[in-house]
Structure 1
């Protein structure tokens, strides 16, 4: 009987693994849109689940109300200690409130934001048309300042090149705006479907959790619960904190722009709230957008003061408020954070910006916990046969 070398078996198994992986990836790409919708529906339910669970436990802390009663508050407060909103009703109320907030935002925001977007498009197009003259004049000033002939700056584009670039840039603005509006309309319909899927996921949350635990041996349930707690602290805590930061940044940006009389306050505040969700580069981009609206109108001093106010606000936000809201949500060192973002963008594109840090933070926390528990178990001394047991259960025996 001929024995097959182990290396040949390994290479055959590895080739089969690559083939199966490629086929599974092709199958996944066929249902990528459906998988993405289901993933986003679960993610929305995951983010909102603590709110529904809080309503189910009781929105008013019982020790706090009991303390008020002991201080002489009316006894009817005791009724509030027993106030609960059942889980299905709480989930329904939360999703109805979310849908109502979206509809109110659309009714109030669309009439406000669409004219601002059109006006900003017109303003940018006009600046694109003026850009050649400004840049050619800048080229002449540089030549006069350094006492060199204009021909020596021939490395800079010519007037005709600047004009062609300006016409090209002005032609880009309106198609980008139309494509953005089309995507927003299609995304709104998709979001309503995701909202419905997320609602039913929320209703079946406990059943799904019990079914998943039923598939796992009971000996591992404690480890699974500990792992779920770590994931909720890292992945869920980071996402919820980021959404709260985006809301705060949008409201503060809008208030500062209104106080300085800046144009396009609603549109720029919305973009500032969205762009700050992008780690590392979102905050600087959000900082320069609002004063740019004043600088485009020639109000340099007011734009500078607005920039200073927003800079101070960002320092307070990221050095005082963010540590309290996020805490050690990810626990990633700065170098690993940068690497996680680069790898996430490479693998997931735009979504890598959003989810790379919480996913990497969850993996880092789990790996750290696993290594710590292993090192602790290897250092734990084993009791000898004649020594008394340190287990209280064994002692009672």
Structure 2
């Protein structure tokens, strides 16, 4: 009997297909091209998209309020669409109604005082320059004559530089504010855009999560939650602190009797958005006004600032921002310098929350990769 010999399997000796021939590679190319094209279009149209950037900020600020109002409605489970619409409309009424009321009450006197402030600020600096010799004479009593002369020269040169810088800056600020009021005519569609963005917020997030592989979606949700928690606590907290500190400063300057208290409060509220350095800058501006108009009120201004800062640091900041941004003040100052050098004013305002979000995301990804590494080692030991 002849034994049949089984043929040996023929191995495929053809070279493996190149990675660029796989569908996965071409999907990646399509995604990269689409992202690049959209990014290029957004960058080219960045000037026209400023209203929508403002609208995105308003959406981000109103989203928690809309969600809280929606949860309180008794028919939220039966009619989620109707509940969402009513919550958005109530949030609209509270937000834009508050802005309209504040504008009706504050804008006319604020504009009047702003014009007076910009007009008189050069005179404030001249008065301060004239008062410098008298102030330095009081401070320099008992110092050697040579040291007194050096101090006088340095102070006079410093005030001169401050005068040459401040006037163009103030004029540019007034020009920017005037352009901003004219720019509001381009914001007609903004309320409708904000409404639809809030209306379809959940669908947009669901669509975004669906772009990622299924095994990554939980991590993507966790990262989005980390970024939202950090940015939300910081940005909403800074805006709230700006309103409170600006109001408190304006009332304090009005009680002390300084000129243009609304403008001084507005300056303090806007500069409060700059971490650490904002209160110092606002105090310097208000100190110039106090020294130029009535130097005897400078002590009261300093006491008011000390009280306001103590209340902010010990009462407001722990409750408003919590532990969202945990940076040493020295690191914050370094971040402000880096952000201002790279992105200008916008970088100064956003570099701290961006750095905090990157730190928290890095910690999360490091922990997740460490857990995956330990799990793989454990599985390998079980197989052995």
Fold conserved between structures, TM > 0.5:
yes
Tell me what 1:45 maps to: 59
**SS in structure 2 at match of 1:382:** helix
Tell me what 1:341 maps to: 336
Shift of 1:374: 2.2
In the alignment, the residues of structure 2 paired with residue 257 and residue 276 of structure 1 have an alpha-carbon distance, to the nearest angstrom, of 16
In the alignment, the residues of structure 1 paired with residue 166 and residue 220 of structure 2 have an alpha-carbon distance, to the nearest angstrom, of 56
Q: Which has the higher contact order (CA 8 A, sep 6+)?
A: 2
In the alignment, the residues of structure 2 paired with residue 255 and residue 140 of structure 1 have an alpha-carbon distance, to the nearest angstrom, of 33
Q: So what's the TM-score if we normalise by structure 1? A: 0.71
Aligned pairs, number: 344
Structure 1 residues 200 and 166: CA distance shift in structure 2, 3 A: closer
On the 8 A contact 1:234/1:330 being kept in 2, the answer is yes
Match 1:312 to one of 307, 315, 333: 307
Q: Which runs of 5+ in 1 are unaligned?
A: 1-20, 61-78, 387-397
Q: Which runs of 5+ in 2 are unaligned?
A: 1-34
Tell me what 1:179 maps to: 175
Tell me what 1:235 maps to: 231
Shift of 1:333: 4.7
- CA offsets, 1:194-231, max 9 Å, x none? 44432321122122122222322333222222112111
On the 8 A contact 1:275/1:286 being kept in 2, the answer is yes
In the alignment, the residues of structure 1 paired with residue 335 and residue 178 of structure 2 have an alpha-carbon distance, to the nearest angstrom, of 32
Shift of 1:136: 7.5
In the alignment, the residues of structure 2 paired with residue 179 and residue 213 of structure 1 have an alpha-carbon distance, to the nearest angstrom, of 43
Shift of 1:170: 9.6
Q: So what's the TM-score if we normalise by structure 2? A: 0.73
Structure 1 residues 171 and 245: CA distance shift in structure 2, 3 A: closer
List aligned pairs for 1:1-397, cutoff 5 A.
28-58=42-72, 86-130=83-127, 134=131, 156=153, 172=168, 175-176=171-172, 178-190=174-186, 193-300=189-296, 302-334=297-329, 336-379=331-374, 382=378
In the alignment, the residues of structure 1 paired with residue 191 and residue 327 of structure 2 have an alpha-carbon distance, to the nearest angstrom, of 32
Q: CA RMSD in A?
A: 4.2
In the alignment, the residues of structure 1 paired with residue 107 and residue 65 of structure 2 have an alpha-carbon distance, to the nearest angstrom, of 29
In the alignment, the residues of structure 2 paired with residue 382 and residue 147 of structure 1 have an alpha-carbon distance, to the nearest angstrom, of 78
On the 8 A contact 2:283/2:305 being kept in 1, the answer is yes
- CA offsets, 1:271-317, max 9 Å, x none? 211110012211212334445443332242x3312311321321231
**SS in structure 2 at match of 1:278:** coil
In the alignment, the residues of structure 2 paired with residue 340 and residue 165 of structure 1 have an alpha-carbon distance, to the nearest angstrom, of 26
On the 8 A contact 1:116/1:267 being kept in 2, the answer is yes
In the alignment, the residues of structure 2 paired with residue 367 and residue 168 of structure 1 have an alpha-carbon distance, to the nearest angstrom, of 45
- CA offsets, 1:244-293, max 9 Å, x none? 11111112112222332332111111121111001221121233444544
